[in-house]
């Protein structure tokens, strides 16, 4: 989707979108001679400017033909529903036959950031991945190619180009990685996809292959990968935009490119959704791209633990004991609790190699998280209240909402093993919390760490303001906002 900011409404064929802030009628005055007809159309559709509401009308176009007019409700004046405006407009028009949407913000009171968010939401809602849909009927095909924003405050365009366009590119990368099936995106091709998206971004990329990880003693991560024909990879992306030598903020993502459960195999129904078990790694890659593209003034490292979890004659078995890079031994009770095995070694690697003292991991870690919070919030577990609060604030500001979950000694005891230092599962109850406790065993004294269980939010069965059905891109806007509000502040 092309985004343009212009001063005046263009001529030529387009749909016109006008924001309406609640039941205030003054916005209708701009329709001049057509005011009564437009107001009448709004009334017939019981539209009263409520946030996210839409009414359609047709007005005369300059060439004498008809022009589609969308009235989009923003509830009240101000930025609060900026994203609803852009996203709703594009959602309605994307396959409508219109090629250009003109959103007229004149007199609507959006700040520069609000107007830039109208652009961001428009572009996010316009993202699609139709690569494998070769038989789409004409009416199902995307027609909208351009959103033109008129009458925004002058600083809005710079805010868009300097910040949100980068965020959009990051979200797009994440969504692409998450959407691709597991025969296309596996550890090595995940790395390749990132490399090509990151060319010229200034990100420094390093990749550890299996022999390198063996050398480091990453027995937990490598154990998960034993049953797969695909080679595991540890992808490291570095952005040095801050003061030289300043300790890096570190993001770590679970990148299980397909999770069959391994020998503790999952039921067939719904297993296809486990192609998105790399959603945490996808978010880390997308966030790194976003912060690099907007040249964030911060030092940030992104690490993706990439493996495929398959059953096979070579796969690890329930009851196996593996030795992690930290030296801690793990009894693998259930091979389907694989994400924590991958992350444990990635956590140790980050702390030992980069001296990371501030770590946020993202993982589609537990089904129990989806039971707890559904699809609205990701769960945040943290050993530090300041970091937890920064994340909650970044979540609220970015729209990638988080809800805090507990950690504690009593939960930790539930993963003691009779044969090794830890077992990889606790009881069914509190399954997301014991998974987080497992990760915490790999966090060194004095390190601030938060774990985001994003199992319920990286994929959506229904469209929303900012996404189509499918990959949401959750985490990119959140991490980008966290960097802006903390590391760059």
295 in a labelled binding site: no
The residue whose two tokens read 């003691």 is 416
Catalytic residue among 84, 159, 340, 448: 340
238 in a labelled binding site: no
**Binding of ligand BES at residue 339 (CB under 6 A)?**
yes
Q: Which listed option, Zn ion, ligand BES, Mn ion, none, makes contact with residue 39 (CB within 5 to 8 Å by class)?
A: none
Catalytic residue among 4, 128, 210, 266: 266
**Binding of Zn ion at residue 308 (CB under 5 A)?**
no
Site string for ligand BES, 156-195 (x = CB under 6 A): ----------------------------------------
**Binding of Zn ion at residue 256 (CB under 5 A)?**
yes
Q: Which listed option, Mn ion, Zn ion, ligand BES, none, makes contact with residue 368 (CB within 5 to 8 Å by class)?
A: ligand BES
192 in a labelled binding site: no
Tell me the residue nearest to ligand BES as measured from the CB: 367
Distance CA 84, CA 53 (A): 9
Report residue 406: phi and psi, to 5°: -85, 160
DSSP string, 212-234: HHHHHT-HHHHHHHTT-SSPPEE
Distance CA 451, CA 360 (A): 6
Site string for Zn ion, 331-350 (x = CB under 5 A): --------x-----------
Question: Which of 37, 354, 367, 407 lies at the binding interface for ligand BES (CB under 6 A)?
Answer: 367
CB of 270 or CB of 418, closer to Zn ion: 270
Q: Which listed option, ligand BES, Zn ion, Mn ion, none, makes contact with residue 425 (CB within 5 to 8 Å by class)?
A: ligand BES
203-262: which residues touch ligand BES (CB under 6 A)?
259
436-455: which residues touch ligand BES (CB under 6 A)?
455
Question: Which of 144, 350, 368, 443 lies at the binding interface for ligand BES (CB under 6 A)?
Answer: 368
277 in a labelled binding site: yes
331 in a labelled binding site: no
Distance CA 422, CA 328 (A): 8
Structure tokens at 251: 């993001």
Q: Which 3 state secondary structure label does DSSP give 47?
A: coil
Angle separating helix axes 112-125 and 165-179, nearest 10 degrees? 20
Choices 63-71, 169-177, 331-339, 442-450; region in contact with ligand BES by CB under 6 A: 331-339
**Binding of ligand BES at residue 336 (CB under 6 A)?**
yes
Distance CA 249, CA 247 (A): 7
Strands 448-453, 66-73: pairing is unpaired
**Binding of Zn ion at residue 259 (CB under 5 A)?**
yes
Structure tokens at 160: 């868009």
**Binding of ligand BES at residue 96 (CB under 6 A)?**
no
Q: Which residues contact 156 (CB under 8 A, 6 or more apart)?
A: 5, 110, 112, 113, 115, 116, 119, 149
Report residue 73: phi and psi, to 5°: -75, 140
Q: How many residues bind ligand BES (CB under 6 A)?
A: 16
Comparing C-alpha atoms, which of 287, 273, 279, 250 is closest to residue 190? 279
Distance CA 356, CA 20 (A): 48
Q: Residues in the site for Mn ion, rule: CB under 5 A? A: 259, 336, 338
Q: Could you confirm whether 340 is annotated as catalytic?
A: yes
Q: Which residues pair with 448 in a beta bridge?
A: 358
Choices 37-45, 180-188, 333-341, 395-403; region in contact with ligand BES by CB under 6 A: 333-341
**Binding of ligand BES at residue 337 (CB under 6 A)?**
yes
Structure tokens at 214: 């063996």
**Binding of Zn ion at residue 187 (CB under 5 A)?**
no
Question: Which of 157, 277, 412, 480 lies at the binding interface for Zn ion (CB under 5 A)?
Answer: 277
Q: How many residues bind Zn ion (CB under 5 A)?
A: 4
CB atoms within 10 A of CB 62: 10
Q: Which residues contact 316 (CB under 8 A, 6 or more apart)?
A: 223, 224, 226, 227, 262, 263, 322, 332, 335
CB of 89 to Zn ion, least distance (A): 37
Structure tokens at 258: 């397909």
Comparing C-alpha atoms, which of 3, 56, 2, 51 is closest to residue 23? 51
Q: Could you confirm whether 4 is annotated as catalytic?
A: no
Residues known to be catalytic: 266, 340
Residues of each annotated binding site: 254, 259, 277, 336, 338
- The footprint of ligand BES (CB under 6 A) covers 259, 277, 334, 336-339, 364-368, 370, 425, 431, 455
Residues of each annotated binding site for Mn(2+): 254, 259, 277, 336, 338
């Amino acid at each position: 989707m092309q985004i343009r900011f212009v001063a005046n409404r263009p001529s030529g064929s387009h749909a016109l979108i006008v924001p309406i802030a609640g039941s205030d009628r003054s916005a209708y005055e701009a329709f001049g001679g057509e005011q009564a007809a437009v107001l009448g159309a709004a009334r017939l559709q019981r539209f009263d400017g409520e946030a996210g509401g839409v009414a359609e009308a047709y007005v005369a176009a300059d060439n004498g033909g008809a022009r589609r007019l969308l009235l989009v409700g923003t509830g009240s004046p101000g930025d609060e529903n900026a994203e609803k405006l852009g996203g709703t407009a594009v959602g309605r028009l994307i396959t409508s036959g219109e090629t250009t949407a003109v959103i007229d913000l004149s007199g609507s009171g959006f700040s520069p950031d609000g107007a830039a968010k109208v652009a961001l939401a428009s572009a996010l809602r316009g993202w699609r991945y139709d690569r494998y849909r070769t038989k789409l009927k004409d009416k199902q095909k995307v027609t909208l190619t351009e959103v033109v924003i008129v009458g925004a405050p002058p600083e809005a365009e710079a805010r868009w180009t300097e910040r949100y366009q980068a965020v959009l590119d990051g979200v797009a990368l994440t969504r692409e990685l998450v959407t691709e099936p597991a025969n296309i995106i596996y550890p090595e091709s995940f790395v390749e996809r990132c490399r090509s998206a990151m060319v010229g971004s200034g990100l420094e990329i390093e990749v550890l292959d299996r022999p390198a990880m063996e050398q480091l003693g990453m027995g937990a991560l490598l154990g998960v990968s034993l049953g797969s024909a695909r080679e595991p990879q540890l992808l490291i992306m570095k952005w040095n935009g801050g003061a030289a030598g300043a300790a890096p903020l570190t993001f770590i993502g679970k990148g299980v490119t397909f999770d069959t459960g391994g020998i503790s195999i999952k039921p067939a129904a719904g297993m296809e959704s486990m192609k998105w078990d790399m959603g945490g790694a996808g978010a880390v890659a997308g966030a790194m791209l976003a912060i690099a593209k907007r040249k964030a003034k911060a030092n940030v490292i992104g690490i993706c633990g990439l493996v495929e979890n398959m059953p096979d004659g070579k796969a690890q078995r329930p009851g196996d004991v593996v030795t992690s890079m930290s030296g801690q031994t793990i009894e693998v009770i259930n091979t389907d609790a694989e994400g924590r095995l991958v992350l444990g070694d990635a956590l140790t690697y980050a702390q030992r190699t980069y001296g990371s003292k501030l770590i946020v991991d993202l993982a589609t870690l537990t089904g129990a998280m989806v039971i707890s919070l559904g699809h609205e919030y990701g769960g945040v577990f943290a050993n530090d209240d300041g970091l937890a609060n920064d994340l909650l604030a970044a979540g609220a500001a970015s729209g990638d909402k988080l809800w805090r979950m507990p950690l504690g000694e009593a939960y930790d005891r539930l993963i003691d093993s009779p044969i090794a230092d830890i077992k990889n599962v606790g009881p069914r109850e509190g399954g997301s919390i014991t998974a987080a406790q497992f990760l915490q065993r790999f966090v060194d004294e004095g390190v601030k760490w938060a774990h985001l269980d994003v199992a319920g939010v990286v994929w959506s069965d229904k469209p929303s303001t900012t996404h189509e059905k499918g990959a949401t891109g959750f985490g990119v806007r959140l991490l980008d906002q966290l960097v802006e509000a903390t590391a760059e502040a």
